[in-house]
A and B are shown apart, each in its own frame.
Chain A
Amino acid sequence: MKVSLRVENLRIYYRTLRGYVKAVDGVSFEMGDEEVLGVAGESGCGKSTLGNSLILLKPPMTYMEGRVFLDGEEVPIWDNEKMRRFRYRRISIIPQYAMNALNPTKKLKVLMDDLLREHGSDFKSHTAEILRRLKMVNLPESVLNMYPIELSGGMKQRMVMVISTLMNPSLLIADEITSALDVSTQKAVIEMLMEFKSRGFVRKIFFITHDISVLYQIASSILVMYAGKLVEKASTDEILEKPFHPYTEMLISSLPKIGIKYGERKLKGIPGQPPPLLKPPEGCRFKDRCPYRHSKCDEEPPIVEISDDRVVSCWKYA
């Protein structure tokens, strides 16, 4: 696969009065061109931090080390000013707060015009394209003259989708965009997103979610995070069929499956809690909840390359 996004050893910590919270602690991965990478993990594992750091790295997020390359060019995520060149045009985001992302006192048309002007263009030049995309997400033309308050939550989210992808970014970060929706709306949103991708409006999607079942529908690969570390990355099929890392294994088995009754096979949760990220334990961070734990786990597990696009971070495979 042709590598389009490469992240090397990224460390993003949160500075607090009691010290650094190690939210993203040495994460490396690659994305191919036109790949949809699902990023999964429980709350607090660092996936949102990871995604957001690629576009807007602001306090209290602190850049510690690591490098990011997009289509061969280095992305200076630590430099806010220099990043402006990348934002919106090459890297864009549909944020977790999409329903509140629109300025309540500006008509949508005006908002888009102002935003486009920041990038050397304007509303007029994009009018035809905007209208086309509005149709694709089932929004009437009239929304352009409305204020955000006149739109429903779902409409606002679709509007944000259109705005965020207007400049056809190379990388789109989708931060928990389905998390607050019911299942049928989830499906609609995902379908719209995939439609955008198939038409080339976005090339790569970094899809953050805590719900693996959603990833099954759209992701070509899945990256699993735990306590700030990457534990496994593989193609969606491989992960769902045969997960390697114990955490991934337990995640998958905690999903209900259609056709199997509760009495036949109990849903397994994962007992315990993720470790505190202020002073993470030595070695493998999952060791306290891992059923396969042994003495070697007190050492930091290596990142094992099982195949060309499969990595696991576990002593089982070293």
Chain B
Amino acid sequence: MGRYLRRKITIYILTFFVAVTLDWMIPRFMPGNPILILVSRFTGLPQSAKVMYSYLVKAFGLDEPLWKQYLNFWIAFLKGDLGVSIYMYPKPVVDILKQAVPYDVALLLPSITLSWIVGNKLGAVAARTKKLDSIVLPIFYILTATPYLWLGILLAWFLGVVLGLFPIAGAYSFSTVPSFSLDFILDFLGHWILPFLSLFIVMLGGWAIGMRNMIIYELEADYVKYLESLGASQQLIRKYAFRNAVLPQVTGLALQLGTIVAGALTTEIIFSYPGIGYILLEAILHEDYFLIQGCFLFIILGVLLANFFIDIIYVIIDPRIRYSYGGEI
């Protein structure tokens, strides 16, 4: 177990380094001078362009040797300074991001956990009878093939516009102010439900399919045959198979995080939901490079933390890791 955890932590630390380095590297090594690109799109007076240019050179630290730039980047990062946003000048990037995180957590945590739990249950049920399986499986496939953003559009159009049930923009109405009052919470939930459903429904399909396949695989295992030979009921067998099939679903969760992040990004954009995804889009549209970099780092950090958390859970639930003397599964 120790070896397993150490290996994982090494990868995460390495990944973090690589990610931060990439984040620092890419603007600098892309063909062309990023500052020039920035300035060339700046539609102001030539004199202001010159000021912009020298400011940006300083901000990017391009007047210093490369290794020093890299070091400065790290120092700044560890101090919690991710620069200042350009389009929301002079708000620091970290503050913008900190405001967006709670909305993301409120959206992602429930949708991921609920879709995982419900999806697994549905997948297990589907694996029970062939008839049920052949009916629901195509449905799950279609669900998981649906791009998040299209489902978002569908829901927005159908439930939002046609039926007028839910609002389709923002996290709360323009007239309200965030607080912990019941009114605000209800208003928030009304705005929250459509983006939540877009993510929930698509992910559900994926988990259901995965679980169904894992259960079918488990049901062919020798230990199931043995149990059946010794007179175990279908109920017990299903219980055991489910328990064992859940394990790879947990690791699957970690592997899916990348895709889920992408889906959340696009969903937020459709519903103008002020999470990091939405901020990222705004940053791109306004060419706010510091903000873009900040978003990237936040996303990476989030994914790494989530991965680590899932790995810890996995160690707890799979005895084979604890007692085996090997490394990975």
Contacts and interface: CB of A to CB of B under 8 A. Distances in A.
Interface string B180-212: 000000000000000000000000000000000
A92 B230 contact: yes
A56 B319 contact: no
A56 B228 contact: yes
Contacts of B228: 56, 58
A87 B231 CA distance: 5
A118 B233 contact: yes
Interface stretch (B59-67, B165-173, B236-244, B296-304): B236-244
Nearest to A87: B231
Interface in B211-264: 221-223, 225-233, 236, 240, 243-244, 247
A89 B230 CA distance: 8
Interface in A94-133: 95, 97, 100-106, 114-115, 118-119
A87 B227 CA distance: 10
Interface string A51-66: 0000110100000000
A95 B323 contact: no
Contacts of A101: 222-223, 225-226
Contacts of B95: none
Nearest to B235: A118
Contacts of A85: 231
A115 B323 contact: no
B320 interface: yes
B33 interface: no
Q: By CB atoms of chain A within 10 A, which of B231, B236, B319 has the most?
A: B231
A56 B224 CA distance: 12
B1 to A, nearest CB: 12
B320 A87 contact: no
B223 A115 contact: no
Interface residues of B, number: 22
A150 interface: yes
A164 interface: yes
Interface string B291-317: 000000000000000000000000000
Nearest to A163: B230
Contact of B230 (A87, A97, A104, A147): A87
A104 B226 contact: no
Contacts, number: 72
A11 to B, nearest CB: 21
A30 B221 CA distance: 33
A188 B232 CA distance: 30
A84 interface: yes
B232 A115 contact: yes
Contact of B229 (A89, A93, A149): A93
Nearest to A92: B230
Contact of A147 (B225, B233, B247, B320): B320
A118 B319 contact: no
A100 B227 CA distance: 12
Given A149-B323, A150-B323, A84 B233 contact: yes
A88 interface: yes
Contacts of A103: 223, 227, 240, 244
Given A105-B244, A147-B319, A95 B231 contact: no
A56 B240 contact: no
Contact of A97 (B222, B240, B243): B222
B320 A105 contact: yes
Contacts of A92: 229-230
B72 interface: no
B324 interface: yes
Interface string A195-223: 00000000000000000000000000000
A95 B244 contact: no
Contacts of B247: 105
A176 to B, nearest CB: 14
Given A105-B320, A118-B236, A149-B319, A84 B226 contact: no
B244 A118 contact: no
User: Which 3 residue pairs are nearest across A and B when measured between Cβ atoms?
Assistant: A87-B231, A101-B226, A100-B222
5 contacts: A88-B231, A95-B225, A104-B244, A114-B236, A150-B323
Given A103-B227, A147-B319, 5 more contacts: A95-B222, A100-B221, A101-B226, A103-B244, A105-B320
